[in-house]
A and B are shown apart, each in its own frame.
Chain A
Amino acid sequence: DTGVSQNPRHKITKRGQNVTFRCDPISEHNRLYWYRQTLGQGPEFLTYFQNEAQLEKSRLLSDRFSAERPKGSFSTLEIQRTEQGDSAMYLCASSLGGRGGTNEKLFFGSGTQLSVL
């Protein structure tokens, strides 16, 4: 068990550029979550996948954000035309979720810190 892996650890970009982050979940986990954490705040839910299906998107996820999980393995989160307000830590978590929602245990990655200049 290598845990949840996120790349890159840090990303600095200029406003208007596109960025893509990658998350590799624990291999047998069927659920994958993306959260955003800004300074002084707790993580906020963005979106999640059950296998390859994206089941829910938060209203925080504007049209500039897109997430994919091809083949139900790793996931990517892309932000187009980045804005300074996108600067945050982007966290990925995975779990072995059950049907109907259970008190699943989340395993978090270390996050990708995005700085938009």
Chain B
Amino acid sequence: AQSVTQLGSHVSVSEGALVLLRCNYSSSVPPYLFWYVQYPNQGLQLLLKYTTGATLVKGINGFEAEFKKSETSFHLTKPSAHMSDAAEYFCAVSGARTGANNLFFGTGTRLTVIP
């Protein structure tokens, strides 16, 4: 079974500051890990994913995440927040080589960017 825990349902940062959104996972099999973003009145959009290989994954809009097996973490970071980053972010996990019917989402973190 797989699950994710997102620490902090709300995170506020100043424009230009570092963004750090935390995600810890639990998986009985090698995991695939994902970050999705949901802008207001829009569908979820894939930011980045980790499957195998390099543990530091780069995504769209300057975001990146690092898979740390020893810490069972997949935290999302961005060096400098932009106003347009304000959205809800979801971490998700699936078992390796399984489809989206086995994709488990966290409860989400709402990011606010303060001008």
Indicate the size class of the contact surface on chain A: 20 to 34
Residue pair B43, A109 in contact (C-beta under 8 Å): yes
Question: Is the C-beta of A91 less than 8 angstroms from some C-beta in chain B?
Answer: yes
Question: Which chain A residues (81-105) contact chain B, with CB distance < 8 Å?
Answer: 91, 93, 95, 97, 100-105
For the complex, give the distance between the alpha carbons of A67 and B89 in Å: 28
Q: Which residues of B contact A111 (CB under 8 A)?
A: 43
Tell me how many residues of B have a C-beta within 8 Å of chain A: 24
Residue pair B107, A41 in contact (C-beta under 8 Å): yes
For the complex, give the distance between the alpha carbons of A56 and B107 in Å: 23
Q: Which residues of A contact B83 (CB under 8 A)?
A: none
In the complex, residue of chain A having the shortest beta-carbon distance to the beta carbon of B41? A110
For the complex, give the distance between the alpha carbons of A95 and B108 in Å: 22
Question: Is the C-beta of B49 less than 8 angstroms from some C-beta in chain A?
Answer: yes
Residue pair B42, A42 in contact (C-beta under 8 Å): no
Residue pair A42, B97 in contact (C-beta under 8 Å): no
Question: Is the C-beta of A79 less than 8 angstroms from some C-beta in chain B?
Answer: no
Question: Which chain B residues (43-100) contact chain A, with CB distance < 8 Å?
Answer: 43-46, 49, 51, 90, 92, 94, 97-100
Q: Which of B32, B43, B92, B108 has the largest number of chain A CB atoms within 10 A? A: B43
For the complex, give the distance between the alpha carbons of A59 and B106 in Å: 19
A-B contact pairs, 25 of them (CB 8 A): A31-B99, A40-B9, A42-B90, A42-B107, A43-B90, A45-B100, A48-B100, A48-B101, A91-B44, A93-B43, A93-B44, A95-B100, A101-B98, A103-B49, A103-B51, A103-B94, A103-B97, A105-B46, A106-B44, A108-B45, A109-B43, A110-B41, A110-B42, A110-B43, A111-B43
Top 5 nearest A-B pairs by Cβ distance? A42-B105, A108-B43, A101-B99, A108-B44, A101-B98
